[in-house]
Structures are given as structure tokens and as C-alpha cells.
Amino acid sequence: MDPRTRKLRKVSALLDSGAECSFIDQKLADELNLPETSKTTLRVRTFGAPNDLECKTRKVSLDVWDSEGEPCQLHLLTHNILTSSLRTPPILEEDATFIRQNQLQVHVVSKRKAKPQILLGSDQLWHLIHADKPHVRLPSGLYLLPTRLGHLLTGQLQVQSLGTSRARKAINSVSMADPELLQAEQSAWERYWKMQDEGQEEFIQPEKNVQELIDQQVHDEFLRTVQKREDGYYVRLPWKEIPVALPDNRAIATSTTKRFKSNFD
């Protein structure tokens, strides 16, 4: 919903199970003047990129309505670039006939070009799937999955040829573009990066500092265990703590003794 006009507006959304967070295009967020709830810095690595990219982002809230007219609220992170323009796949005639004959309430748009302005990641995606409703297998091998956005068309297209089937292409499409949120826990993502950064600062030390710490421990152990007697000084080895217990050679000595004894007998 546009906060200024209070009118509904259709926006294309992309469901991306590989993304850990949900995003909205920065220009769309500014255009709708969405209320800001917080600011944060994200460390993002896009597919195939060798390095991470740090970027400052705003967390905004957006009121949306699902396919059944139920209102809900999305909490999204702003970003300049979400994805390039996409084109929905064609629907086979056999699948369209099957949908009409079974009177399925499905509206799938074929061969439409769209540029997603909202990307729903795994933090909010799975709340959209209707786990209590059955999926439908189409004659082509694709599946219709019921979601709060409408029916998701997904799967691997099969082509029958001479009694055998082979995979031709994989298709993922959704019947409409209005997403839904059940109060995502974005703070968990922020805490994850904070813990990772703090862990690096706490445990990664220069090698010189580590060696100085070991030397000090050895020196303290020497002073604690050294003894002065009439015939001289007595010290206990090792001064340095051994982290792994070393095995003794008792078993080897016993075996050798038995072998010598049997030779003499």
C-alpha cells in the first residue's frame, strides 16, 4: 500500500530461497516514503563474487495484502540492486487444459517480462507456503504449490519421447507478486555478523604476543617448582605444559622382555 495515497499498488516480487534476508529496491522505498525502523551495515556476497561487500542499509516496513485479501506487514532491507529483469516461462497447452478441466483457481501469467522490486529470502519465504494444502502435479511434470501469493509453478519439465522421459528445463514461476510476512527476526542476522566480527578481534593475535605469553607461563612454572637443596638446585621437567599426553613404552618393553626370555628357553 502506498502510504501517501493509501491505495493498493502491484509490485513484482522474487522468491529466493538462497537469500538469507529480504530486500526492497531503494528507489521504491524512497518513492513510497516507507517508515524506517532501524539502520544497519550488511556484509553481502553475491553469487560468484570472490569478496564480501559492505553496505549501509535501512530496515523499513511495508503493508501488503496476500491473494486472499488478508493484510500483513513486511520488514525489508533497502538495497540499490536486487536483480535484472526476468521473463516468466511459457505455459504448455496440456497444462493449461488440465487446469481448466479441473477448475483450479490458478492464475499464471505466461511470457511476461518483469523486474522484481522486492526479494523475499528464506527469513520470510517459508511462512508463505501453505503446508496444510496439497500440491498438484501437472501433465508436463511441473507442480503447482499453494502459497499465500497464489500458486507457485515449479519443478522440472519432462518430455516424453519413445517411451522414455528426459529433462528439458527447470521452471520456477509464481502466479502473483504480493508477498507476506510473519514478523521476521532480522536482529538474529545482525547478531550473527556482530559475533563473527567480535570473535575475530578477540582470538586473532599476533604470533609475537602468543610467544610472549608462553614464555611467561614457562618462567612462572620454573620459579614455582625449583628447589634449593644442600647439594644444589632441583627443577622439575618439563617447564612447558604438554597439551597431549604422551604414551609410555611399557608395552614395548614387556614384549621385548618376553621375546628375550623365550629365546633363552
Separation in Å, CA 204 to CA 54, 128, 241, 243: 21, 42, 22, 20
User: Do residues 132 and 244 share a domain?
Assistant: no
**Does residue 175 or residue 72 have the better pLDDT?**
72
Which of these three, 180, 199, 218, is where a domain ends?
199
Residues 122, 216: one domain? no
Q: Is residue 135 part of a domain?
A: yes
Q: How far apart are CA 40 and CA 58, in angstroms?
A: 6
| Claim to verify: residue 252 and residue 151 sit in the same structural domain | no
Longest Cα–Cα distance of the chain, Å, equals 107
| Residue range 137-196, pLDDT digits in tens | 888 888 888 888 778 888 777 655 444 444 455 555 544 434 443 344 445 545 555 554
Question: How many distinct structural domains can be found in the chain?
Answer: 2
**Sequence-separated (6 or more) residues with CB below 8 Å from residue 19:** 119, 120, 121, 122
Q: Which domain holds residue 113?
A: 13-199
Q: Which string of DSSP letters, residue by residue, matches 89-122?
A: PPPPHHHHHHHHHTT-------S-EE--SEEE-H
pTM across the whole model: 0.52
Asked if residue 209 and residue 109 are part of one domain, the reply reads no
